[in-house]
Structure 1
Amino acid sequence: MDVSCDLEVDVNGEECFMVNKVIISSYSSRIKKLFCRSKGATKTFKVIFHDFPGGAYSFELMTRFCYNGGKIDISLSNTIILYCVATFMEMNQSVSGGESLLQLTEKSTKMISYWSWSELMIALKQCQDLLPVSSSCGIINKCLNCVIARIVSSSEPSPCPSSSSPDSSGFRLSFESRSTESLKNSSPRGTWWFEDFVVFGTPLIALLVRSMVNRSIDHGIISRFLFYYQKARFVVATTDEKCHIMETVAELLYSLEQSAVPYNKLFGIMRTSLNLRLSSDCKTKLESMIGSRLDQASLDNLLIPSSVGSKSLYNVNLVLRFLKSFVGKEPNILPLSRLKTVARKIDLYLAEVAPDPFLKPANFLYLLKALPDSARDSYDGIYHAIDMYLKVHSGLSEDEKISICCGLNFEKLSSETCEQLTRNNKFPSQSVKLALLSQQSRLKSLLQDSNQPEEFLEPECSFLERETSRREASSSKQIVLYAGDLDLPSENEKLKANLQGMQCRVMELEKICRNMQIQMTKVMKARLSSHKKTKSLPKLCS
Structure 2
Amino acid sequence: MWDSEIESAGGRGFSNGVLTTSKHGVKTDGFEQRGQSWYVETDIPSDVLVQIGDVSFHLHKYPLLSRSGKLNRIIYESRDAELKKIVLDDIPGGPEAFELAAKFCYGIAVDLTANIISGLRCAAEYLEMTEDLEEGNLIFKTEAFLSYVVLSSWRDSIIVLKSCEKLSPWAENLQIVRRCSESIAWKACANPKGIKWQYTGKPLRVSSPKWNEMKDSSPSRNQQVPPDWWFEDVSILRIDHFVRVITAIKVKGMRYELIGAVIMYYASKWLPGLIKEGSGSGAPGDDGSNSTNSNGSGSSWKGGLHMIVAGSKEDTPTVQAKDQRMIIESLISIIPPQRDSVSCSFLLRLLRMANMLKAAPALVTELEKRVGMQFEQAQLADLLIPCYNKSETLYDVDLVQRLLEHFLVQEQSGSLSPVRQSFSDKNMYDSDQRGTNPNAKIRVARLLDSYLTEVSRDRNLSLTKFQVLAEALPESARTCNDGLYRAIDSYLKAHPTLTEHERKRLCRVMDCQKLSIDACMHAAQNERLPLRVVVQVLFSEQVKISNAISNNSLKDAGEPQYQTLISNRKTLLEGTPQSFQEGWAAAKKDINSLKFELDSVKAKYSELQNEMETLQRQFDKMAKPKQTSAWTVGWKKLSKIGKTTENNDIGSQVGNAEQTKKTPRRWRNSIS
- Whether the aligned pair in 2 keeps the contact of 1:331 and 1:372 (CA below 8 Å) is no
User: Please, which of 123, 132, 135 is the counterpart of residue 172 of structure 2?
Assistant: 135
Aligned to 1:181: 209
Q: What aligned pairs does 1:212-361 form with structure 2 within 5 A after superposition?
A: 212-233=249-270, 234=272, 237=318, 240=321, 243=324, 247=328, 250-251=331-332, 254-255=335-336, 257-267=338-348, 273=353, 277=357, 279-281=359-361, 284=365, 286-299=367-380, 301-302=382-383, 316=397, 318-327=399-408, 332-333=412-413, 337=438, 338-357=440-459, 359-361=461-463
Give unmatched runs, 5+ long, in structure 1: 162-170, 447-471, 484-492, 499-542
User: Please, which of 358, 370, 384 is the counterpart of residue 472 of structure 2?
Assistant: 370
The separation in 2 between residues aligned to 1:120 and 1:293, in whole angstroms, is 36
AA matched with 2:146: T
AA matched with 1:202: I
Q: Which has the larger radius of gyration?
A: 2
The separation in 2 between residues aligned to 1:297 and 1:154, in whole angstroms, is 33
For residue 293 of structure 1, report the CA deviation from its aligned partner: 0.7
Q: Could you list the per-position Cα deviations for residues 246-282 of structure 1 after superposition, in whole angstroms to 9, with x for gaps in the alignment?
A: 52673365245342223344456667x4996363556
For residue 304 of structure 1, report the CA deviation from its aligned partner: 6.0
User: Please, which of 221, 233, 242 is the counterpart of residue 196 of structure 1?
Assistant: 233
Aligned to 1:512: none
The separation in 2 between residues aligned to 1:415 and 1:497, in whole angstroms, is 45
The separation in 1 between residues aligned to 2:165 and 2:200, in whole angstroms, is 21
AA matched with 2:130: N
User: Please, which of 102, 110, 119 is the counterpart of residue 81 of structure 1?
Assistant: 119
AA matched with 2:209: E
- Whether the aligned pair in 2 keeps the contact of 1:287 and 1:322 (CA below 8 Å) is yes
- Whether the aligned pair in 2 keeps the contact of 1:387 and 1:426 (CA below 8 Å) is yes
For residue 154 of structure 1, report the CA deviation from its aligned partner: 5.6
The alpha-carbon distance between structure 1 residues 181 and 244, as it changes in their structure 2 partners (threshold 3 A), is farther
For residue 130 of structure 1, report the CA deviation from its aligned partner: 2.7
- Whether the aligned pair in 2 keeps the contact of 1:250 and 1:285 (CA below 8 Å) is no
Matched residue of 2:171: which SS?
A: helix
The separation in 1 between residues aligned to 2:51 and 2:504, in whole angstroms, is 75
The separation in 2 between residues aligned to 1:10 and 1:479, in whole angstroms, is 102
Matched residue of 2:194: which SS?
A: coil
For residue 137 of structure 1, report the CA deviation from its aligned partner: 1.0
For residue 422 of structure 1, report the CA deviation from its aligned partner: 11
The separation in 2 between residues aligned to 1:263 and 1:415, in whole angstroms, is 31
For residue 314 of structure 1, report the CA deviation from its aligned partner: 6.0
Q: Could you list the per-position Cα deviations for residues 135-164 of structure 1 after superposition, in whole angstroms to 9, with x for gaps in the alignment?
A: 221123323333333333462336xx7xxx
The separation in 2 between residues aligned to 1:278 and 1:174, in whole angstroms, is 46
Q: Does 2:68 match 1:56?
A: no
Aligned to 1:15: 55
Q: Does 2:462 match 1:382?
A: no
The separation in 2 between residues aligned to 1:415 and 1:198, in whole angstroms, is 51
The alpha-carbon distance between structure 1 residues 227 and 249, as it changes in their structure 2 partners (threshold 3 A), is farther
The separation in 2 between residues aligned to 1:227 and 1:173, in whole angstroms, is 27
Q: Could you list the per-position Cα deviations for residues 336-382 of structure 1 after superposition, in whole angstroms to 9, with x for gaps in the alignment?
A: 95444422331343244434555443442342133355645666653
CA RMSD of aligned residues (A): 5.5
- Whether the aligned pair in 1 keeps the contact of 2:457 and 2:494 (CA below 8 Å) is yes
The alpha-carbon distance between structure 1 residues 81 and 419, as it changes in their structure 2 partners (threshold 3 A), is closer
For residue 215 of structure 1, report the CA deviation from its aligned partner: 1.5
Q: When the two structures are aligned, how many residues end up with a matched partner?
A: 435
The separation in 2 between residues aligned to 1:363 and 1:341, in whole angstroms, is 21
The separation in 1 between residues aligned to 2:455 and 2:262, in whole angstroms, is 35
The separation in 2 between residues aligned to 1:497 and 1:19, in whole angstroms, is 127
AA matched with 1:56: P
- Whether the aligned pair in 1 keeps the contact of 2:122 and 2:170 (CA below 8 Å) is yes
Q: Could you list the per-position Cα deviations for residues 385-417 of structure 1 after superposition, in whole angstroms to 9, with x for gaps in the alignment?
A: 32442243121245654654564579x867999
For residue 57 of structure 1, report the CA deviation from its aligned partner: 0.9
For residue 134 of structure 1, report the CA deviation from its aligned partner: 1.8
- Whether the aligned pair in 2 keeps the contact of 1:343 and 1:375 (CA below 8 Å) is yes
Normalized per residue, the structure richer in helix is 1
The alpha-carbon distance between structure 1 residues 400 and 242, as it changes in their structure 2 partners (threshold 3 A), is farther
The separation in 2 between residues aligned to 1:267 and 1:251, in whole angstroms, is 12
Q: Percent identity?
A: 25
The separation in 2 between residues aligned to 1:280 and 1:419, in whole angstroms, is 50
- Whether the aligned pair in 1 keeps the contact of 2:260 and 2:336 (CA below 8 Å) is no
The separation in 2 between residues aligned to 1:384 and 1:322, in whole angstroms, is 22
Give unmatched runs, 5+ long, in structure 2: 1-25, 27-43, 202-206, 218-222, 273-315, 417-437, 548-578, 599-672
Matched residue of 2:357: which SS?
A: coil
Aligned to 1:465: none
AA matched with 1:365: Q
Matched residue of 1:82: which SS?
A: helix
**TM-score normalised by structure 1 residue count:** 0.60
**TM-score normalised by structure 2 residue count:** 0.50
- Whether the aligned pair in 1 keeps the contact of 2:325 and 2:357 (CA below 8 Å) is no
